A and B are shown apart, each in its own frame.
Chain A
Amino acid sequence: MQLYLPIADLPVNVFLILAMGAAVGFVSGMFGIGGGFLMTPLLIFVGIAPAVAVASVASHIAASSFSGAISYWRRRAIDPALAAVLLSGGIVGTALGVWTFTLLRSLGQLDLMIALSYVVLLTAVGALMFWEGVRAILRARRGKTAPLRRSGSHGWIHGLPLKMRFKRSKIYLSVIPIVVVGVVIGFIGAVMGIGGGFILIPIMIYLLRVPTSTVIGTSMVLTLVTMVFATVMHAVTNHLVDAVLALILMIGGVTGAQFGARAGQKIRGEHLRLLLGLLILAVGIRFAIELVIRPDDLFTIRETGGAA
C-alpha cells in the first residue's frame, strides 16, 4: 500500500516502513537502545532525504523509549535521581551539539565528519563490547563466576567530590562524572542525529558502575527527554519532521520494542552484550567500507534551495 508523505514529498510503501520500524523497535527493545543509528541509514536507503530522516527518527525514538520507560518504571528499574543528574548535563550537551552542527555545516564537509564519527564511535564501542562479551562468556565456560568488580575496585572516579547517594541504584557517586557523561551524550546525539543509548549504556556500566538493573531504564529516560527536545527543535528550525512518516515508524517501533524487550529478558546478559557489540561493530564497519571502497557513482546531487 502506497502512501504519500507530506514533508518528504515521496510515496512510500506503508508495510515496508512498518516492518522497518518493527525490526528496529525489536532491536531497541532487546538492548534498551534507541536504534537511531540503524533507523536513519535505513530510511536514507529507501530514498528519504537525510535531513528528513534524521528529524523524523527523533520522534520515533521518543515514542519507543517512552513505552520502554513506562514498563521499566513499573518494574522500578529507573533511578529518578540519576536520570535527573544525567539530564542536566544532557541538555547542555545538546545545545552545544546543535551549535557545533550549524558551525560544521557552514564549513562544509559535514557529511564526512558525520561518517567519520560514525566509523570511529561505532567500531570502537562495538569492538569493546564484543571483546568484553567474549571474555565474559569464556570466563563462564571455565566455570568461574564473572567478577563483580563493583565492591572492591574504586577507581579515580570514586574519589571525586560532590558525592550523592542514588538510592534506587544503590550507588554513592560524585555528580561530576555523571554530568560530564550527560554533556558528552547530548553533544554526540545532536551532532550525529542519534539517541546515544548505545554509548551511554556501556559508559554507565563500566565507568560509573551503575548496576545493570537500573542502567537501561535510566538511559531510556535520558533518550526520551533529549529526543522529545530534538523533535521540537527540528520542527522549529528546519521544518523537516514528517509526522506521517514518524507515526508509521512509531507504530511499528513500539510494537517491535515490546517483543524485543521480552526476547531480551530470555537471553543472558553477556550474550546480549556480545550481540549488541557485534551489531554496532557491523554498522560501524559498513560505514568504514563506504568510505574506503570506490563508490559506484562518484557524483552526487543535492538541492540547495533558493538561497545557495
Chain B
Amino acid sequence: MTARTSLTTVGVALLLGTAFTAPSAHAERLIVSVSNHRVTVTPNYSGEELVLFGSVERDASTSATRGNYDLVVTVAGPRADMVTRRKERKFGIWVNTDYRQFLQVPTYLALFANRPFDAIASPEVQRRQQLGLNNVLLTQRVGPDYADVVPNDAFRSAFVRLRSEHGLYREATSAVTFLTPTLFRTGIPLPAEVPIGTYDVEIKLFSDGALVTRTETAFEIVKVGFEQFVATTARQNGLAYGMVTAFMALMTGWMASIVFRKD
C-alpha cells in the first residue's frame, strides 16, 4: 500500500513535471550522528564540545527544484523544576517577594540553525515548531494554571537570561554549517557545569519556510569511576558516607597535629 502510494506520488510528480512542488513530507531523510554518545565525567572534566554531523538524503521522489535547505538543531538536557524569584525593596531591604515556578523545563537548552530563524520560517511556523529561545515552551505554574507566557514576560526573560549567562541556554543562528548542499555539521558546546543525564537532540529540516522532515538522536553525560562511586554512596548509604567523611576529618586534623608538632 505504502509502496503504491509513493509510486503514485512519483507518477504525479513526473506527470506534472518540475512546476509541481507538493509538500511531500517524506521525500527527504535525515541521517545524523553525534561524535560521542556517552560523555564521561572524570576528575579532570571541565566541559566538552560534541560535534553533530549528518546529511540530507534525497530519494527519487524529491522534487528537483527543492530550494535550499535550512536546519534547526535543538539540544535539551534533563528536565527539572525551577523557581525564579524577584527581589523587591521592602522596609529598606531587598527581599524575595514574587516568584514563578517553571515546571519540567530543560536544565540545558541549545538551539542551533544555519541562518536566523526569521529567515527560515514565518513567525507562525517558528512558534509551532518552537524555533528559538523565545518560542520554546517553558511551562510555568501561574496560580492554578499551567501555561507558557509571552516571550517578553519579566520572569521568563530573566530565566532565559540567567541560564544563558551560565552557558546553559544558548541560541546560535550561524552554528550549523552546510559543507555541501546536503552535508551539515554543528558543534554542541557543553560547559563545565552541565547537569548529568540524558540529552535529547532534535534535528528539523526546513525548506521554503516549511518543515520537511525531522529526526532525533540522544547522548548522555554520566559520571564514571570514583565520581560515580562517591555520588551513589552519598545517596544510598548516607550514614556510612557521613561517618567516613567525619572520620576523614578527624584523621586529617590528627595528621596535621603530628606533622606540625613542635617538640
Contact = CB atoms under 8 A, between A and B. Distances in A.
B149 interface: no
A272 B81 CA distance: 48
Nearest to A5: B227
A107 interface: no
Contact of A304 (B41, B81, B95): B81
Given A299-B84, A301-B162, A308-B101, A243 B256 contact: no
A62 B253 contact: yes
B256 A67 contact: yes
A2 B246 contact: no
A191 B25 CA distance: 61
B108 interface: no
Interface stretch (A37-45, A154-162, A231-239): A231-239
Interface string B222-263: 010011101100110011011111101110111111001000
A234 B196 contact: no
Interface of A is mostly: helix
A297 B163 CA distance: 13
Contacts of A228: 246, 249-250
21 contacts: A4-B44, A11-B44, A11-B46, A11-B192, A63-B250, A63-B252, A65-B253, A69-B253, A227-B249, A231-B246, A232-B242, A232-B243, A232-B246, A235-B239, A235-B242, A239-B238, A241-B241, A254-B255, A301-B162, A304-B81, A304-B101
Contacts of A300: 84-85, 87, 96, 162
B239 A232 contact: yes
A112 B241 contact: no
Nearest to A108: B96
Contacts of B80: 303-306
A183 B103 CA distance: 41
Going nearest first, the 9 A-B pairs with the smallest beta carbon separation are A235-B242, A66-B253, A254-B256, A67-B253, A299-B158, A232-B242, A63-B249, A6-B230, A62-B249
A59 B226 CA distance: 20
Interface in A279-308: 291-295, 297-308
Contacts of B101: 304, 308
Interface centre among A3, A59, A240 (most CB of B within 10 A): A59
A176 B35 CA distance: 69
B92 A64 contact: no
Nearest to A8: B193
Contact of A67 (B95, B227, B254): B254
Contacts of A51: none
B42 interface: yes
A175 interface: no
A234 B234 CA distance: 10
A251 interface: yes
Given A109-B95, A294-B89, A302-B82, A247 B252 contact: yes
Nearest to B240: A235
B205 to A, nearest CB: 33
B246 A62 contact: yes
B163 A9 contact: no
B193 A231 contact: no
Contact of A6 (B96, B226, B242): B226
A297 B243 CA distance: 40
A303 B246 contact: no
A128 to B, nearest CB: 23
Given A6-B223, A236-B238, 6 more contacts: A10-B193, A70-B253, A236-B242, A251-B252, A300-B87, A305-B81
A232 B248 CA distance: 12
A286 B80 CA distance: 33
